[in-house]
Amino acid sequence: MRRGSVRALLGGGAHFGLLAAFVAFTAFPFYWMLVTMFKETSDLLNPNNNPFLFNQPPTLEHLRVLFGETLFGQWLLNTAFVGVLVVAITLLLAVPAGYSLARLTGRLGEQLGIAIFLTYLVPPTILFIPLSRVVATLGLQDSLWSLVLVYPSFTVPFCTWLLMGFFKAIPRDLEEAAMIDGYSRFGAFAKVVIPISVAGVLTVVIFSFTLVMQEFVYALTFITAARRFTVSVGVPTFLVRGDVYFWGSLMGACFIASVPIAVLYNFFLDRFISGFTVGAVK
């Protein structure tokens, strides 16, 4: 066998080995959740059992507890409801704001963009007290609409900054050519800029929805009724009772809630990475 062939074979084997190790590393949390979800409680708590395998026959008891003794299905619907509305509001505000700041000439546009981004860095633990006063004044206590009102306060600043950098990477010549062909400024923006900026818009959608899925402080502060909880609050509230953890049901809830987001990330991975790198760097 030639030296070049051996080198290519070794290179391919090393590449495959690294890829397999990376896949195993990233897939392991999902495997752990899946196994724990179907394990008997006695199997989970026995330190002599292999934690990676089924030492006893699988069971659906943890899923029965999750869907039968909690309002997990309702929490999923609540999270989806808030997430869709927050994504829509974020796009409605961040897209035109980012485009306007990107096309604003001089130092003013850059300074405004930095100022908007700095508001995203304010910790939620500082803001939730004044925002609770706003929610109370508007009569939105214990309502999902309070979350729809509050969440854009930290999705819009970051997404505006992200899209501003992304729109700056688009040459002005494309819009000018579209306006020469008869489009208005808005027409050139809608017909030329937005289709080119799909990666950035998709990044905003994924970021906003993921943030709604994992946010805890505001959802815990503004919502008190169990039927109006989101997943991030309902699951730890009802499946962690004192020092008792319902591990099987907890892992089932985590698996069911995380798989759609993981699939969405992987399905649009190339565009998602493009949205962050192009929008944040250029």
Which CATH number covers residue 222? 1.10.3720.10
Query: Is position 9 within any domain?
Result: no
Q: Note whether 90 and 177 are same-domain residues.
A: yes
Query: Is position 14 within any domain?
Result: no
Least Cα distance to 222 among 44, 73, 82 occurs for 82
Rounded CA-CA distance 140/134 in Å is 9
Of 66-70, 116-120, 134-138, 169-173, where does mean pLDDT reach its minimum?
Answer: 116-120
Query: Is position 11 within any domain?
Result: no
Q: Note whether 254 and 156 are same-domain residues.
A: yes
* Boundary (domain end) residue, out of 10, 39, 59: 59
Q: Note whether 31 and 158 are same-domain residues.
A: no
pTM for the model: 0.82
Of 36-40, 146-150, 233-237, 273-277, where does mean pLDDT reach its minimum?
Answer: 273-277
In this predicted model, what pLDDT tens digit does every residue of 100-151 receive, in sequence order? 888 776 667 667 777 777 777 777 777 778 888 888 888 888 899 999 999 9
Q: Note whether 44 and 144 are same-domain residues.
A: no
> How many domains is the chain partitioned into structurally?
2
Least Cα distance to 63 among 30, 37, 35 occurs for 37
> What is the per-residue pLDDT for 229?
93
* Boundary (domain end) residue, out of 59, 78, 111: 59
> What is the per-residue pLDDT for 98?
86
In this predicted model, what pLDDT tens digit does every residue of 155-166 receive, in sequence order? 888 888 888 878
Query: Is position 256 within any domain?
Result: yes
Which residues form the domain of 268?
Answer: 70-281
Side chain identity, residue 145? W
Q: Note whether 44 and 91 are same-domain residues.
A: no
Rounded CA-CA distance 81/145 in Å is 10
Rounded CA-CA distance 173/163 in Å is 19
CB neighbours (10 Å) of residue 260? 13
Q: Is the pLDDT score of 179 beyond 50?
A: yes
> What is the per-residue pLDDT for 268?
67
Q: Note whether 41 and 90 are same-domain residues.
A: no
Inter-residue contact 219 to 181 (CB < 8 Å): no
Inter-residue contact 210 to 276 (CB < 8 Å): no
* Residue bearing the bigger pLDDT, 32 or 260: 32
Rounded CA-CA distance 30/39 in Å is 14
> What is the per-residue pLDDT for 82?
94
> What is the per-residue pLDDT for 83?
92
Q: Note whether 128 and 252 are same-domain residues.
A: yes
Residue 168 contacts by C-beta under 8 Å, 6 or more apart in sequence? Answer: 102, 282
* Boundary (domain end) residue, out of 59, 84, 109: 59
Query: Is position 168 within any domain?
Result: yes
Q: Is the pLDDT score of 97 beyond 90?
A: no
Q: Note whether 44 and 141 are same-domain residues.
A: no
Q: Note whether 53 and 90 are same-domain residues.
A: no
Q: Note whether 31 and 139 are same-domain residues.
A: no
Inter-residue contact 160 to 97 (CB < 8 Å): yes
In this predicted model, what pLDDT tens digit does every residue of 197-250 receive, in sequence order? 887 888 888 888 888 888 888 888 899 898 999 999 999 889 888 778 888 899
Rounded CA-CA distance 174/75 in Å is 45
Query: Is position 266 within any domain?
Result: yes
CB neighbours (10 Å) of residue 193? 19
Q: Note whether 276 and 247 are same-domain residues.
A: yes
> What is the per-residue pLDDT for 281?
42
Query: Is position 10 within any domain?
Result: no
Residue listed under structure tokens 């990666």:
199
Rounded CA-CA distance 119/270 in Å is 29
Query: Is position 151 within any domain?
Result: yes
In this predicted model, what pLDDT tens digit does every residue of 242-261 receive, in sequence order? 778 888 899 999 899 888 87
Residue 84 contacts by C-beta under 8 Å, 6 or more apart in sequence? Answer: 209
Rg for the chain (alpha carbons), in Å?
Answer: 24
Q: Note whether 44 and 111 are same-domain residues.
A: no
